[in-house]
Amino acid sequence: MVGATLGLGNLTLRGIGTNLACRSGVIPDAENMGRLSALAVSLEAEFGIEVEIVWSHCFVSRSTA
């Protein structure tokens, strides 16, 4: 997916991100944020790019019904 994105002349890949809690209820912590950061480093090495943004959001919707 990254290679295909980089091949598009009209897009610039600036970062990676995830919404952990939305799908699996995982709260961002040092371990899984470390894994996301390691992925960014790996992408930089493999594709020769700078990943400027590494982002995670934790949003849990609570029903009041």
Count other Cβ atoms within 10 Å, centred on residue 62: 4
pTM, two decimals, is 0.74
pLDDT digits (tens, 9 = 90+) for 3-62: 998 999 898 899 998 877 666 677 778 888 899 999 999 999 999 999 999 988 765 555
Q: Give residue 32's pLDDT.
A: 83
6 lies in a domain? yes
65 lies in a domain? no
Q: Is the dihedral of CA 43, 49, 52, 53 positive or negative?
A: negative
Domain with 31 in it: 2-57
| Angstrom distance (rounded) from CA 23 to CA 60 | 10
45 lies in a domain? yes
Q: Is the dihedral of CA 43, 44, 47, 51 positive or negative?
A: positive
Q: Give residue 18's pLDDT.
A: 84
64 lies in a domain? no
9 lies in a domain? yes
1-31: burial string, b at 16+ Cβ within 10 Å, e else: eeeeeeeeeeeebeebebebbeeeeeebeee
52 lies in a domain? yes
Number of domains in the chain: 1
62 lies in a domain? no
